[in-house]
Amino acid sequence: MPTTLVPGNNGLEKVVIETSHGVAEVYRQGACLTRYFAKGREVIFVSKSSHFARGKAIRGGVPICWPWFGPHPGDPKLPQHGFARAVEWGVAEMSEGRAVLELLSGDETKKVFPRAFRLRFIVTVSADGLTMALETTNTDPIPFTFGDALHTYFNVPDVRSVRVTGLKDHRYRDKVLGGVVKTEIHDATPLSGETDRVYFDTYGPHEIHSPIAGGPVTRVHKSNSSDTVLWNPWETKAEGLADLAGKQWPGFVCVEAVNTAENSVTVAPGQTHTTICRVEAL
């Protein structure tokens, strides 16, 4: 089955990858993956009120956070999660079961990140599931350091019943509690209120269990990602976000492949770092 570039919402273009193993869709805007359909279900959550507009991040799917995660460490006026999720990427390659989107440094990117780089987002749909690889290549004459994240929103029947495995005994920074560092005690971590945690030195895999009504299980594998973020804004914060309001918050949980803070990545000239997340619908 061919991989195609077609019109999407509000005239934005998207790449559609269709195989016998599943379907994925990736918008050029932010190189944001907005669909993965496999095993008869939609695995990825996208907000019904998301902005599909040039210059704006898509709410849901898999936004790409780069070259930093969260607020900029030195200048809070710079955009949250960097700029890669809010600009249009080029399509470098389309083949059966695979697409490659690309973003190159230029005058605009150097205003906020004064280094030369090449980003490639490689999406593959196969019998192994959905594989997403974010390649960062340093094309600058000096080393640079960056943070990144594949900020994946997973569809769930109700986040209040979700349990996430693979985090026990790992230290995490709890941003809801002001950044206090704790250690996870649960074999399968529950979410019972606003959750915003960075788990350190986690290499997976993680499983997302939705036990109500025999809900689905999704397995998340990571490579070259030192941290895992677990996030849901819960009711009050979600209703304050124009692109997430409407009581949609129970329908997703974010389990993210991340490199940030102490685990940020330094790449030498000519070097490439690849953060990989592979998703299986079980």
pLDDT band at residue 212, thresholds of 50, 70 and 90? confident
Task: State what percent of residues in the chain have pLDDT above 90.
Answer: 94
The dihedral region occupied by 212, where left means phi > 0, alpha psi between -120 and 50, and beta the remainder, is beta
Q: What is the CATH number of the domain that holds 110?
A: 2.70.98.10
The active-site residue, picked from 25, 184, 256, 280, is 256
Q: State the distance between the two ends of the chain, measured CA to CA, in whole angstroms.
A: 23
Enter the tokens of residue 159. 């986040």
Instruction: Give the pLDDT band of residue 73 (cuts 50, 70, 90).
Output: confident
Catalytic residue among 81, 151, 206, 221: 151
| pTM > 0.85: yes or no | yes
Q: What is the pLDDT of residue 271?
A: 98
Mean pLDDT for all residues in the chain: 96
Using the predicted structure, report yes or no on whether residue 10 has a pLDDT greater than 80: yes
Burial class (CB in 10 A: 0-12, 13-18, 19+), 247: exposed
Looking only at the bridges linking them, the beta strands covering 265-267 and 98-104 are unpaired
**Rounded to whole angstroms, how far apart are CA atoms 67 and 85?**
10
Q: What is the pLDDT of residues 226-260, one digit of tens each?
A: 999 999 999 999 999 999 999 999 999 999 999 99
Residue-number span of the structural domain to which 130 is assigned: 4-281
Residue 127 has pLDDT above 80, yes or no: yes
Please tell me the total count of domains within the chain. Answer: 1
Q: Would you call 256 a catalytic residue per the annotation?
A: yes
51 is catalytic: no
